[in-house]
């Protein structure tokens, strides 16, 4: 029997808080309530809630992002903690077998991880994407999911980009190039 999974991508202080290292700011902060609502819905209906979370070492000369962005989501820092109410939500639910967080080191939640294997083992065929940044990590995750034949649902009220132009472009791309269902 096929099932769905909610991915909450990179919803951390560094990407969302006003003083985060690479923040979406207010556009990311307003996602908190819709993301928590979706997490509760998925958790209460025994579906999967997965939190792929960016992690870096400061000034890693071998990581391509080092040349592009300031240090962010450094392991064991405030910046890598989940933003706002997501951290206490995760603290309460982290022992639920259907809720799990894992490290990712590239834009896509699939790159260098066992996400596809875990989804196939659990008969997940539809991924609901939320989090930040719509035009970077959410986008790259969606492209990989598309190439792996997952159905995609993008929650418009639960994704944010660094710029309005990036947000609009990515939402259009999800729908018209990846065949995703974009919902409010």
Q: Which of the four pLDDT bands, split at 50, 70 and 90, describes residue 57?
A: confident
Mean pLDDT of 52-69: 87
pLDDT at 20: 96
Mean pLDDT of 129-148: 98
CATH number, domain containing residue 166: 3.40.50.850
Nearest Cα to 132, choosing from 177, 97, 86, 90? 86
Residue 2 has pLDDT above 80, yes or no: no
Joined together, the tokens standing for residue 14 give 């560094």
> Residue 100: phi, psi to the nearest 5?
-155, 150
pLDDT tens, residue by residue, 89-136? 999 999 999 999 999 999 999 999 999 999 999 999 999 999 999 999
Mean pLDDT of 137-161: 98
Mean pLDDT of 135-164: 97
Q: In terms of residue numbers, what domain contains 143? A: 3-183
Residue 59 has pLDDT above 90, yes or no: no
Q: What is this structure's pTM?
A: 0.96
The structural domain count of the chain equals: 1
pLDDT at 87: 98
**Burial profile 27-51: b = 16 or more Cβ within 10 angstroms, e = fewer:** bbbebbebbbebbeebbeeebbbbb
Question: Which residues touch 98 (CB under 8 Å, ≥6 apart)?
Answer: 43, 46, 47, 48, 49
Mean pLDDT value across the chain: 96
pLDDT tens, residue by residue, 7-49? 999 999 999 999 999 999 999 999 999 999 999 999 999 999 9
| CA dist list (Å): 140 to 43, 60, 110, 135 | 25, 21, 9, 8
pLDDT at 63: 82
Mean pLDDT of 157-180: 97
H helix runs in 8-138, sequence order: 13-16, 26-29, 32-44, 86-93, 115-121
């Amino acid at each position: 029997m096929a099932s769905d999974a909610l991915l909450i991508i990179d919803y951390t202080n560094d990407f969302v808080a006003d003083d985060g290292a690479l923040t979406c700011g207010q556009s990311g902060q307003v996602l908190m309530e819709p993301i928590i609502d979706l997490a509760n819905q998925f958790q209460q209906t025994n579906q999967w809630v997965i939190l792929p979370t960016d992690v870096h070492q400061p000034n890693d000369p071998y990581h391509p992002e080092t040349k592009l962005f300031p240090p962010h989501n450094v392991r064991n820092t405030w910046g890598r903690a989940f933003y706002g109410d997501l951290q206490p939500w995760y603290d309460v639910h982290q022992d639920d077998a259907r809720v799990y967080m894992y490290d990712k080191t590239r834009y896509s939640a699939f790159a260098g991880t066992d996400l596809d294997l875990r989804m196939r083992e659990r008969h997940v065929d539809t991924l609901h994407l939320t989090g930040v940044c719509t035009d970077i990590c959410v986008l790259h995750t969606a492209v990989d999911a598309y190439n792996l034949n997952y159905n995609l649902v993008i929650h418009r009220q639960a994704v944010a980009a660094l710029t309005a132009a990036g947000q609009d472009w990515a939402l259009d791309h999800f729908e018209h190039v990846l065949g995703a269902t974009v919902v409010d």
